[in-house]
Amino acid sequence: MIHTATDEDVQEALSIVTQEPLENITLIADLTQLRDWCDIRACRQDGRIRGIFALYHDLDFLAGAFWAESSSILSALVNDYGQKLKRAQMVFICTEEHLETIRQVAKSVDAIKERQMVMDCHSQLMCDSSIRADLLTFEDTEDLRELYHLSGTPAWTPNALKLGPFFGVRDDRGKVVSVAGVHFVNQYSAEIGNIATHPEHRRKGYAQSSVAAVTKELLNESDTVVLHFFDDNIAAQKLYEKMGFRYSSADPIYFTKVEF
């Protein structure tokens, strides 16, 4: 039976997916900190959870995350949303296993390889930039909106400032020209994201300072800090490796556009 997920469903699903937290970080976030922004459906058979699907609705595009015992369970969950998901493109952050399940259900799949790196309290964070990064607030919303638009970063809304720390570097006029923030923060992990730098201020150490400031803050709240970047972004790869991030057990993952 498929139904809107109850607290019991969510807790049972969390007990399953948190056994492999790096493989399921997006779904874990949707079931915890981001739950109020998600339409979550559960499939329960023979008294236990067989699958769960979270449809996130705080972005300009559809985004989802799931766990399912089989492709038939995923198909049933998708169908339960009716017209919401029909002929609409969705985005998932997938492991290879998730991707294979999606391919058995979706009409079209376009997967782009990403890398997943992590840092924990036992890691040594390194930063050789002396640039100061400031903690940002809602007063910086318009600067951020402009910067994200300029850098082509679609997965940001002002609500993200409620989720965790954003740090940025300002120019001489006080305008934010580089930023690093979060996608979520929960007891299992925190994901650094929404990283952007104005084209005129790149290669100055601004991004490094911003990422380092966010990482330090997050390690006080979560055991594991995660970040993702596209496989062809060599500059990001070199920066994060230099800072002490290491590739996770779930690496690589896939930024996946799906039409059901």
CATH of domain 124-244: 3.40.630.30
Long-range contacts, stretch 104-111, CB < 8 angstroms, 24+ apart: 104/71, 104/74, 105/71, 105/74, 105/75, 105/78, 105/260, 106/258, 106/259, 106/260, 107/259, 107/260, 108/258, 108/259, 109/256, 109/257, 109/258, 110/256, 110/257, 110/258, 111/254, 111/255, 111/256, 111/257
Ranges of residues in the chain whose predicted pLDDT is under 50: none
pLDDT in tens, 157-183: 899 999 999 999 999 999 999 999 999
Joined tokens for residue 145? 């909106």
pLDDT in tens, 126-143: 999 999 999 999 999 999
Which pLDDT does position 32 carry in this prediction?
Answer: 97
Which pLDDT does position 70 carry in this prediction?
Answer: 96
Q: CATH number for 2-115: choose from 3.50.50.60, 3.40.50.150, 3.40.630.30, 3.40.50.620.
A: 3.40.630.30
Question: Cα(243)–Cα(130) distance, rounded to whole angstroms?
Answer: 14
Contacts of 26 (CB under 8 A, 6+ apart): 65, 92, 93
Q: Domain locations in the chain?
A: 2-115, 124-244
Which pLDDT does position 84 carry in this prediction?
Answer: 87
Which pLDDT does position 60 carry in this prediction?
Answer: 83
Which pLDDT does position 198 carry in this prediction?
Answer: 94
Which pLDDT does position 156 carry in this prediction?
Answer: 85
Which pLDDT does position 255 carry in this prediction?
Answer: 96
Tell me if domain 2-115 and domain 124-244 are identical in fold. yes
